[in-house]
Structure 1
Amino acid sequence: MKNIIVSLGGECSITRDQLEEHDFVIGVDSGTDYLYKLFLIPNLIIGDLDSISTKTLERAQKDSAEIIRYDTDKDKTDLELALDYIKINEGKNITVIGGESGDLDHFFGNLLSIAAFHKKEYIEWKQSNQNIIFPNSELINIKIGKLFSLIPLSNLEGVSINGARWNVKNEDINFGSTKTLRNIANQGLIKVRVESGNYCLVIDN
């Protein structure tokens, strides 16, 4: 698997034309409902399946989707189970949709699950107004004039940002610092280099 779409439960504002080409589609429990609204047929449905509609589940079975059902009394979220599946099958480029509303603990749980999973993959969690990016390259495509933030998810060492209004040169950024928030792209290709640590980028649409 190279290009994967993962659809979470909860609100989703993404349209079909906002999605890149893909070769594998995963419905995470009720996130499968939204896949069919986008005319996407899931290859896999995973989770405890406590919120997917009966109609969607029956339709997916007719479409020969693989279904992996877990007990509701489990130690991992449905998204984490999906990421475990992707890790085993070596997914490379992952687009996450859905999960735009609901409880904050769900949002942060999903975000941290992605952060813990991310190694060499490119992961983009598409939202209505902003996208959350876990890059696999130093070069980031951002439209000129768009706001972007580098969010430290741990202490960061050797942070450099080039091509922005406020460039950074080989600085250490501590977890909790707001120094790299609300920057602006001065060119269409921004270079972001981090020697050590975990982070994500939040980019305005």
Structure 2
Amino acid sequence: MQRIHIVAGGPEYLIPELHFQDEDIVVGVDEGVKFLANRNIAPNAAFGDFDSISSQEFSSIINDPNIRTYTFEQEKDMTDLELAVRWGLEQLPDMVVLYGVTGGRLDHELINIQMMSLGLEHDIAMKIIDTKNEIEIKNPGKYTVEIRSDLPYVSFVPFSQLVKGINLEGFRYPLYDADLVFGSTLCISNELVTKKGTYSFDDGILMMVRSKD
């Protein structure tokens, strides 16, 4: 399975330990390149206007023959992260994973989460990971969830105005053929009571958030 890991410039304390496989592609976005350097990780590609790093740091990136560098003007119609995500999806990986996209400015965090809908459009799985949460969104279907001691809480949030026919099995609070409207807290803070559970739904777009305390 090939994954593209994109590290952006959100608060570094929310970026977890990073471990990659040989076939993975690692992308730094603006200050995310510096975060990777701080962890002795060399990216395969770098995106941004690089207004968040020093000229010396930028020079080391642009002159590294092993890093494909994509530079952009500060004034543009897409954020640096969206440009990197769209490029990542064009590579047709099995999954795109985002780090450094939560915390900090709320406007950026909200749109970064909404950006996961691009994965659905391309039929490519996307996930956001930080030190406290994992987030993914799904089209209708049935999915398996494994219990995790590090992320015990499982919440389901409507990503569309209405999500129809939700079923939760193997959870402390099961649910059968329920509808979830935008803004509802019905499916917040559930927990698995079996090693594996399932969730399914018939229509709409649903976000699953796995969290720790």
Structure-2-length-normalised TM-score: 0.85
Question: Are 2:163 and 1:156 aligned?
Answer: yes
Question: Are 2:174 and 1:167 aligned?
Answer: yes
Residue 147 of structure 1 corresponds to 153
The 5 Å alignment of 1:3-82 reads 3-13=3-13, 14-16=15-17, 18-21=18-21, 23-60=24-61, 61-82=63-84
Contact 1:46 1:82 in 2 (8 A): yes
Amino acid at match of 2:52: S
**Which structure 2 segments of 5+ residues have no match?**
none
Residue 110 of structure 2 corresponds to 108
Contact 1:152 1:173 in 2 (8 A): yes
Whole-angstrom distance in 1 between the partners of 2:200 and 2:136: 14
Amino acid at match of 1:89: Q
Cα deviation, residue 183, structure 1: 0.7
Structure-1-length-normalised TM-score: 0.88
Aligned match for 1:182, one of 173, 180, 189 = 189
**Size of the alignment, in residue pairs?**
204
Whole-angstrom distance in 2 between the partners of 1:99 and 1:68: 19
Contact 1:7 1:27 in 2 (8 A): yes
Distance change in 2, residues 1:55/1:134 (3 Å)? farther
Distance change in 2, residues 1:92/1:158 (3 Å)? same
Residue 130 of structure 1 corresponds to 133
Residue 121 of structure 1 corresponds to 124
Over aligned residue pairs, what C-alpha RMSD do you find?
2.3
60-69 or 136-145, larger mean C-alpha shift: 136-145
Whole-angstrom distance in 2 between the partners of 1:41 and 1:135: 31
Amino acid at match of 2:154: F
Cα deviation, residue 135, structure 1: 5.4
Amino acid at match of 1:99: V
Amino acid at match of 1:189: K
Report the identity percentage: 25
**Which structure 1 segments of 5+ residues have no match?**
none
Whole-angstrom distance in 2 between the partners of 1:190 and 1:63: 46
Q: What secondary structure is seen at the aligned counterpart in 1 of 2:41?
A: coil
